[in-house]
Structure 1
């Protein structure tokens, strides 16, 4: 099982530097509620990039209307125990916050600015099962796709208990389609490493739809060319190596350029060396029929990199990756930093830059998901991550610009 941070945050007007200065700021923590796991998401208002929202599990939302110079708390009327949290902007100016509670029921809350939220609408799921590990994505029209793991029972020591990947979608966050099972390869319930997990949907500009997930150590994918007729068999994309690895992240390029329609996938595993986890990237230009050989994103000689979050700027097609990095760590130390990688040629080449300040103590067991978040819009890059601060978990944010990254890249040549 992966290690977890636990806690609860309070924020009151925290200052950040202007975009482009690349100086992260912590959102200070307070006393925590035991038993809650940490996840972080960030989204940018597409019509007003100065308005950004951060969501943190359990049940906390922060917003800025000045590009990250100041942050305030938003109030989401979450009911019940709080578990997984996810946040997304639909591309038209609405933020959607998804929150699971203890029984595995997920609700969707909407806001126009991150400050005030509606009372929420339940997402269509089989509530006789246990639904966890929720992810959300949006297509070019703003429709929402919620993917999740459905456990027959959770937790369970029954070796016959089944976990599977499901998806439901909505055009407005209020009315949801009947959930559809996406996976044919069953996962376990009694072993977290063998459960079906990490499902994420990606939809191309022309409606071609894809869902990728992890079962055991194999990344699978399903696809539909019309958004409704899905394959009857799981496509095997790749098998992850060794004991330390992450769930996959999947994107499709919707920018109006030569790589439009390309599929991008990233994860972390230790295929290079048992003690050296790296972030890996692959690309498909023929709808997932074939993929490039795994390419290492990080540019260090030796050191663990893990927990990649990936985003693509729909205006420019530039691909970004946020990840934890231990390249400065020697031996068995856990000194951890945060790096941003970007590629302007579809992942053929990546540039890497550290965007955290002082190293912090990472986890003994590399987390598989949820501790990093990334959003990009028209050259504005917004990053969020969970790290240790003075022995307590804290949320850090950093707002950058591609213009500043490009200038730094030129300066180092």
Structure 2
């Protein structure tokens, strides 16, 4: 009856003095953390780090936290500056150059989990929400030129009385141009059982609104909050009650026309409600308690708001509640990773992943959807979309959490068609941990057609797909892909498009101009987020992903990369004056480089100086151009992210000029032609000028020769100094 006792919580059933001492030595926070321990692999990455005290933003100690000061001894940018090692790019012809849109306002160079949204009233206006480990909450970035330049980070608040954010940001626009950002907010709740105190992490789904395009945010509201319930009965021995600890995870927000009034906006948030249920067991005549028979209940729920996020409906179950037992017997099933989307007529669709009863990270996995015809107040019977092999927690070739690749991304088309993208293990490739699959329905989610999208034909891992419709009904799909690296350690972003509702897809095309290695992105390569994001407008598509190129030559570093289909203006430099003598100063102006990042200047292949760009990716300074050969000299500027631009400086006077003219002068001296009077056909003035020019170059040659002799003599003296001093 008392099987499967919870580890690390109070005492073993023996009730020994040692066990009691261990019980009393734990803090209330440690006791609460132990109660949530079984959930950690099943939650999103950011939530798992929060409840296990690995997120240093929520921890009092930095020594054992991911990304804490103990892992950051030196800025990766400064390391790169020392040797001027940068990730030179291999651009693609089908997409713009890549930008890194995030920047560090602290010591921790980690941003991840990007969500992108476009303004329906202004297609040039884009907002991106991300996790930023320099900020206690998620942050936003704003572009007003289709991603060519970015401003931010801007910081929404988390709700009062909470202690910080867990992550999972999503951003959406309503039809009026207001933008909303949602995320997990972490709080705590205290309670006691048998006179022993507990402090357990709780979670809320926070939603904030911006009326100025994403640069400032209003008061955040809790759309839903997890619950804790303690039920006890008076017993001195045996089971004396139950403890239910809730935690909300993996939220997703969508907005669309209200079903009741299409002129108004409705906001929808789905999430997974995790409830850990334990029996409270009393021993030693009630003097000691422990917890037994842990069971996890998971349900996909939805809440909605009709007043801009100020008030929210009660949670509605979208999926059935499924049970996962930790005793080694019974069901081992969970549901997780929901999303929602609103069709043009106000119909709401929700999707999620089901691990089936063979357990998570193995066996079969299922993709499900459900439809609401009454504005999210109730849902029709769920429909099975697809069933294939379930991806592992991490691919067998990397360390990062990738199980969320199986969580279906959902989008709806202009005619109400609904589509999904997800990763499952293909049955025809046993060493492949995941391919990208697409499913679509044109009958309101009743039946589904399927297709594999990645065309690599290899067994390399694909992950984190994201899809979007454009206004004409074309489908745009992106994902992470290891196909280009024979070691399977670095990924690129790939893209494909369908113009016929998903029946056929364009040849897969590489988006990134430099690959990302997860081991270079985050300590131990453990976390690159749980998703990437894409949005499409008429004639263009915008993509964001986790990018590690700045960590390639230093400490781990993770930024958010951005690219679009349309080309953007390349970085450039302007040199003034464009020509002159060697050994002079010239002014260099740079435009379109990575903002607030180290850059390096080389002249004819030799690095001569470095600097740092401003917030707009510009710089303006003077450099000394050393003497080189006469003629055109390349001046190249490249920043630490790999952006590079070259201009030409024409050197009128260089070493070869001195040598040539000195040779001519010596030849003239030897022949005596310049000193014996005018040459035939010349006047005395020309002869005088020739004599003067010759004299100048003789003096220059003599100066150079004297300099060479002086340097040689100094070198000889320096070499003999140790021997002269007896060392």
State the TM-score, normalized to the length of structure 2: 0.48
1:289 positional shift = 2.1
Q: Which has the higher contact order (CA 8 A, sep 6+)?
A: 1
* Candidates 346, 350, 356, aligned match of 2:512: 356
Tell me how far apart the structure 2 counterparts of residues 187 and 393 of structure 1 sit (CA, whole Å): 36
Question: Is residue 534–residue 541 contact of structure 2 (8 Å, CA) maintained in 1?
Answer: yes
What residue is the counterpart of 1:114 in the other structure? Answer: 214
Question: Of the candidates 322, 330, 346, which is equivalent to residue 207 of structure 1?
Answer: 346
Distance 1:67 1:261, change over 3 A: closer
* 1:355–1:398 contact (8 Å) kept in structure 2: yes
Contact 1:7-1:393 within 8 A present in 2 as well: no
Q: Does the CA-based 8 Å contact 2:277-2:297 persist in structure 1?
A: no
> Which residue number in structure 1 is paired with residue 358 of structure 2?
none
How far is 1:369 from its partner? Answer: 6.7
The answer to whether the Cα contact below 8 Å between 2:249 and 2:272 also exists between their aligned partners in 1 is: yes
Deviation at 1:305, TM superposition (A): 1.4
CA contact (8 A) 2:111 2:558 kept: no
Query: Within 5 A, what are the aligned runs for 1:72-221?
Result: 72-73=151-152, 74-79=154-159, 80-84=163-167, 85-102=169-186, 103-111=202-210, 112-128=212-228, 129-140=246-257, 141=262, 142-153=265-276, 159-171=294-306, 172-188=308-324, 194-216=333-355, 217-221=365-369
Pick from 442, 462, 465 the counterpart of residue 308 of structure 1. 465
Number of residue-to-residue matches in the alignment: 382
Report Cα offsets for 1:130-178 as digits up to 9, x if no partner: 1111011122453211000111139999642211110011131222111
User: Is residue 333 from structure 1 mapped to residue 488 from structure 2 by the alignment?
Assistant: yes
Go from structure 1 to structure 2 and tell me whether the alpha carbon gap of 1:361 and 1:189 turns closer, same or farther (over 3 Å shift).
Answer: farther
Q: C-alpha separation between the residues in 2 aligned to 1:367 and 1:266?
A: 21
1:227-306 to 2 correspondences below 5 Å = 227=375, 230-231=378-379, 233-244=381-392, 246-253=406-413, 255=414, 260-271=415-426, 272-276=428-432, 277-292=434-449, 294-302=450-458, 303-306=460-463
> SS state of the match for residue 425, structure 2?
strand
Query: Closer, same or farther in 2 for the Cα pair 1:158/1:50, shift >3 Å?
Result: farther
Q: Which runs of 4+ in 1 moved over 6 A?
A: 154-157, 363-369
Aligned to 1:68: 147
The verdict on how the C-alpha distance between 1:147 and 1:121 changes in structure 2, with shifts beyond 3 A counting, is same
1:124 partner SS: strand
> Match for residue 538 of structure 2?
378
1:40–1:371 CA contact under 8 A, matched in 2: yes
Distance 1:198 1:367, change over 3 A: farther
1:307–1:367 contact (8 Å) kept in structure 2: no
Aligned to 1:408: none
More strand by share: 1
Distance 1:229 1:145 in 2: 11
Instruction: Give the structure with the higher percent helix.
Output: 2
Listed as ranges, the gaps of 5+ residues in structure 2 are 1-40, 47-65, 69-90, 133-137, 187-201, 229-245, 279-290, 356-364, 393-404, 569-727
Cα shift at 1:225: 3.2
Say if 1:163 and 1:189, in contact at 8 Å, map to a contact too. no
The equivalent residue for 1:39 is 113
Cα offset, 1:105, TM superposition:
0.9
Cα distance change on mapping 1:397 and 1:232 into 2, 3 Å = closer
Tell me the alpha carbon deviations over residues 198-256 of structure 1, each in whole angstroms, 9 at most, x when there is no partner.
11122322233221111212222222334356456432222231434521112222x1x
Contact 1:167 1:182 in 2 (8 A): yes
C-alpha distance in structure 2 between counterparts of 1:321 and 1:157, whole Å: 46
1:14 paired residue number = none
TM-score relative to the length of structure 1? 0.83
List gaps (5 residues or longer) in structure 1: 9-16, 404-413
Number of the residue aligned with 2:710? none
Structure 1 counterpart of 2:128, from 54, 58, 61? 54
SS where residue 328 of structure 1 aligns? coil
Q: Take 2:390 and 2:382, find their aligned partners in 1: how far apart are those partners?
A: 22
Q: SS state of the match for residue 22, structure 1?
A: coil
